[in-house]
Amino acid sequence: MFVSIVVPLYNEEENIEPLYDSIKSAMDEEGKDYEILFIDDGSTDRTLAILKTLALKDRRVRPLSFRRNFGQTAAFVAGFNYSKGDVIVTMDGDLQNDPKDIPKLLSLIGKYDIVSGWRRNRKDPFINRRLPSIIANYLISRVTGVKLHDYGCSLKAYKTNVVKNINLYGEMHRFIPAVASWYGVSITEVETVHHERQRGISKYGISRTLRVILDLITVKFLQSFSTKPLQAFGPLGFLFGASGLGISAYLAVLKLSGQSIGGRPLLLLGVLLIIVGIQLIVMGLLGEMLVRVYHESQKKPIYVLRDLDLEKDS
């Protein structure tokens, strides 16, 4: 099993070397074959310079560098794209995750496709970190149906083919287990150690919570309707359209019996409901076209096959 360790780094100059040493001793102790992909996410400090020196010293260190700060999710995706391992381990680059936990995650990866860390004893401030994360974790598990205690923990291990098939945007790295679960992967979690940040500063503020919630809405929508948009918009469209028609029919009867209906607010409502109803149905149909264009142009099937590792099983 060849392991790719993916670490995003944004202005972490003081952490890189201790982190490298720590990963090295954890992996060498287990006798694992591995590479470390350090992704410099447009750092403005000495992060890149240190990475280059490390890479010259140790061939297993593979640095990537973004031209500007694209964010942690983009850094993970770059790591996935360039990794050569059968298994990918992701972790933070600030030593809050402990590389000593990596073997524990790897030992479960044969049995599961994804092993997620759980920072049970999380060492972050309560008000602006742990509290929002308790709320976010609750919402994510309710909405996505994937039951984990700690979606935000970066320390996770994946079978490579699981993440290579997933497209991620925004702040979505914490939804990888949720997105992957639609493809029918198996997921488990293990308790991992968490340390206080010793060096450098955190890159996020409280505003991340809002972005996570917005991404959750996107994820939920895509999960429920990405292959059947008409079913998302259609029912509401029918409901609106039918009520509009009912109202209009009622007014038409009144008109025919000689009453004036020109000044009735109900007329406006009827017309509005018909228009909105038609719009919703048309939007669903447009969505259906988009889905087809996407799947057909990308030659993307609407199913995902399991890996049948015949040699291993026999």
- Shortest approach of ligand UDP to residue 47 CB, angstroms? 8
Closer residue to Mg ion in complex, CB, 96/181? 96
CB environment 284-295: b (16+ within 10 A), e (fewer)? beebbeebeeee
| 3-class secondary structure, 121 | coil
Closest to 10 measured CA to CA, from 97, 58, 74, 87: 74
- Shortest approach of ligand UDP to residue 126 CB, angstroms? 13
If binding is defined by CB under 5 A, does position 94 make contact with Mg ion?
yes
Closer residue to ligand UDP in complex, CB, 12/113? 12
Sheet order of strands, 2-9 included: 61-65, 33-40, 2-9, 87-90, 156-159, 114-118, 187-191
Closer residue to ligand UDP in complex, CB, 77/230? 77
Q: Site residues for ligand UDP, window 56-85 (CB under 6 A)? A: 69, 71-72, 75
Closer residue to ligand UDP in complex, CB, 43/248? 43
For residues 208 to 247, the per-residue mask of contacts with ligand UDP, x marking binding by CB under 6 A and - elsewhere, is ----------------------------------------
- CA–CA gap between residue 258 and residue 35 (Å, rounded): 84
- CA–CA gap between residue 25 and residue 194 (Å, rounded): 18
Cβ count near 2 (within 10 Å): 13
If binding is defined by CB under 5 A, does position 96 make contact with Mg ion?
yes
Closest to 219 measured CA to CA, from 186, 179, 184, 187: 179
Tell me whether strands 156-159 and 114-118 are parallel, antiparallel or unpaired: antiparallel
**Partner whose footprint covers residue 25, from Mg ion, ligand UDP, none (CB < 5 to 8 Å by kind):** none
If binding is defined by CB under 6 A, does position 93 make contact with ligand UDP?
yes
- Determine contact, residues 178/215, Cβ cutoff 8 Å: no
If binding is defined by CB under 6 A, does position 96 make contact with ligand UDP?
yes
Q: Site residues for ligand UDP, window 156-215 (CB under 6 A)? A: 202-204
| Residues within the interface to ligand UDP (CB under 6 A) | 8-10, 12, 41, 69, 71-72, 75, 92-94, 96, 202-204
